[in-house]
Structure 1
Amino acid sequence: MPKLLRVAALLLLSAFAAHAAPVPRERVDAVADAIAANYFDPARGKTIADDLRRDAASGKFDALAPQALADALTTRLRPLDRHFRVRWEGTGATDTQPAGPRRHSPPANHGIATVETLPGDIGHLRLSEFAHFEFGDANAPERAAIDAALAKLAGTRAMIVDLRGCRGGSPSMVGYLASAFVAPGADIYNTFHTRTQTLSEAPDTPYATPRTQVPLYVLVDKGTASAAESFAYTLQSAKRATIVGERSAGAANPGGMTDLGDGYSVFVSDGSPVNPITRTNWESTGIAPDVVTTSDQALDAALRLARASR
């Protein structure tokens, strides 16, 4: 092939490749734009976005394929906010959600994994997720399910709420379940601050018959995150529960996925909680257990404590 034709062919191939697959810098710009537009702290969001663009301009991500780019961006961003994550799925199938109460795909059995009475008359309630419900819905099956679980365990002499591996869920369930163990009107609930509003986890309608004196133990591990951490942190800060297990994930700030096109999406935190007692939250630090043990030993440790309680 003559040299001129070879050069023309290479130019055409280069142009086609550029059109077929957006270069990584364009994808990084889209991630940065989403952070700058949606992060709950506008000034910090701008700083994070600007720093990310500088990394991209240096060529740091240029050689990465789509999945490797998503992984690299998640690794780059996660230390700044434990909820940050970038996904590549080959399609732009996600959408944007606001902070505050949000709907998820309904979890199995409304997020209730185990309801049992263990030897020693100890109630054991394990959650896989904090299922969402609207307080205005008197027939919400999620609230009916947790009411039934709590009623089944109402006669036990101590309670264990097991949140090992629970990745989070809905603030409405966090507040409602916490209200089952504190006096009505207790000022213990986290308040979430977004760019435009303030939202509280305090339930519109608290649990009708709270057990304010029952010994209460909450199990956590490194897989306990987000709303599950909020429940544990709320009751630990109020000195209402003993936390048993491993330090939790440290993912405090809620948000949602933003579709960036070309199969990419990014989770951006658009709210941040403040506890009325500690005046802070558990972002990055996680929840330090009162009784430290491994995840697989946490239930046995809590059972020993519960059986010794009076």
Structure 2
Amino acid sequence: MREDEITQVVTRVADRVTEHYVFPEVSDRIAAALRPDRYPEGIDAAELATRVTEDLQSINGDKHLRLLHSEEPLRDDHGDDEADLAELTAWAARTGGGIGRVERLDDNIALIEITPLFFPPTAAGDPIAAAMTLVAGASALILDVRRCRGGVPETVALFCSYLFGPQPLELGGLYFRAEDRVRQFWTVPHLAGPRFGPDRPIAVLTSATTFSGGEDLAFTLQERGRATVIGETTRGGAHPREAFAVHPHLEVTIPIARSVSPLSGTNWEGVGVRPDIPTPATDALPRATKHLLAALG
């Protein structure tokens, strides 16, 4: 890339961080770390993305702050909500709406794997209802988010709704900088599939790569005492983000909100969700089965 291209990209990234980052008291410090002279002329776009990402995360370690490189040119309608939803819907159609696996294990323990992410409710609602129908008669349930990389909080709330009673329950919230308010997320009283309910034991499997929406599920169920988290400490991303194109092949992702627990006021940003029963991710399933069998007596 030419020097003027680098300057243009870095300046655009810094401006958008200053304008949109959920922590305005930190945004200026992050923007100041992005000096065009740090990146040599002739660097390619992919390497620039790597180096700018390192600098974006150098102030407070926010893993959602990234400059991403795309080999293919970004869509002309990039950032358009309808186009983005259409793309997610097509991805969901290829991946079972985020339901990677439903299985009945021995001893009437059921397993649902959620991967690659919690898609929007319009794409994930029916697959989730179908999965919950298949596990409705199980004595205990394992939720596997070891390969879940994110998703939308509305769908996490929808999924959690199956795991509590019909009475509305506030699960979490998001504080949006632009709105200067907390948007609450509650359980849904009317569901398309059978409710698993609040009493049968649940285990959530996590890994060091579980991120964002997968962490939201684990954190919410753990904090509410509804599930036992088994596996590894998760990656630690609690800030929903928005993407902004800054070059035909580069987009910056910036957290525009932060998760807020109605119980503790905290979230899992930077620290991850710590398991109740630490174990290597590869051993989490047999460990969860053993735990649930003991819970069932």
Q: TM-score normalised to the size of structure 1?
A: 0.83
Match of 1:158 in 2: 140
Q: Give 1:38-187 correspondences, 5 Å limit.
A: 38-53=20-35, 56=36, 59-63=37-41, 64-78=43-57, 80-89=61-70, 91-93=73-75, 95-96=78-79, 104-105=88-89, 106-107=91-92, 108-128=95-115, 129-133=117-121, 140=122, 142-185=124-167, 187=169
1:46 Cα deviation from its structure 2 partner = 2.4
**1:165–1:222 CA contact under 8 A, matched in 2:** no
Q: What stretches of structure 1 of length at least 5 have no aligned partner?
A: 1-16, 134-139
Closer/same/farther in 2, CA of residues 37 and 206 from structure 1, 3 Å limit: farther
**1:164–1:220 CA contact under 8 A, matched in 2:** yes
1:236 aligns with 2:219: no
Q: Distance in 1 between matches of 2:103 and 2:209?
A: 22
1:102 Cα deviation from its structure 2 partner = 6.8
Q: Distance in 2 between matches of 1:155 and 1:92?
A: 46
1:25 Cα deviation from its structure 2 partner = 2.8
- Return the letter of the residue paired with 1:154: A
**2:168–2:187 CA contact under 8 A, matched in 1:** no
Q: Distance in 1 between matches of 2:65 and 2:186?
A: 26
TM-superposition CA deviations, 1:90-120 (whole Å, max 9, x none): 634373378xx97734321111011111001
**1:224–1:249 CA contact under 8 A, matched in 2:** yes
1:277 aligns with 2:263: yes
Equivalent in 252, 268, 283 of residue 297 of structure 1: 283
- Return the letter of the residue paired with 1:95: H
1:141 Cα deviation from its structure 2 partner = 5.5
- Return the letter of the residue paired with 1:74: T
SS state of the match for residue 252, structure 2? strand
**1:247–1:289 CA contact under 8 A, matched in 2:** yes
- Return the letter of the residue paired with 1:224: T
Q: Distance in 1 between matches of 2:277 and 2:85?
A: 32
Closer/same/farther in 2, CA of residues 76 and 241 from structure 1, 3 Å limit: same
1:293 Cα deviation from its structure 2 partner = 0.7
1:280 Cα deviation from its structure 2 partner = 0.8
Closer/same/farther in 2, CA of residues 152 and 194 from structure 1, 3 Å limit: same
**1:176–1:206 CA contact under 8 A, matched in 2:** no
Greater Cα shift, 258-267 or 215-224: 258-267
Closer/same/farther in 2, CA of residues 127 and 185 from structure 1, 3 Å limit: same
- Return the letter of the residue paired with 2:53: T
Closer/same/farther in 2, CA of residues 185 and 38 from structure 1, 3 Å limit: farther
Q: Distance in 2 between matches of 1:281 and 1:97?
A: 29
Q: Distance in 1 between matches of 2:78 and 2:244?
A: 5
1:205 Cα deviation from its structure 2 partner = 4.2
- Runs of at least 4 residues off by over 6 Å: none
Q: Which has the larger radius of gyration?
A: 1
SS state of the match for residue 233, structure 1? helix
Q: TM-score normalised to the size of structure 2?
A: 0.86
**2:170–2:185 CA contact under 8 A, matched in 1:** no
Q: Distance in 1 between matches of 2:265 and 2:167?
A: 19
Match of 1:24 in 2: 6
Match of 1:246 in 2: 232
Match of 2:293 in 1: 307
Q: Distance in 2 between matches of 1:176 and 1:241?
A: 16
TM-superposition CA deviations, 1:21-80 (whole Å, max 9, x none): 734233211111111111122232223112324xx3xx3213433211111111222353
TM-superposition CA deviations, 1:236-263 (whole Å, max 9, x none): 0111110000010101100121001242
Closer/same/farther in 2, CA of residues 50 and 30 from structure 1, 3 Å limit: same
Supply the RMSD in Å over aligned alpha carbons. Answer: 2.3
- Return the letter of the residue paired with 1:96: G
Q: How many residues align?
A: 280
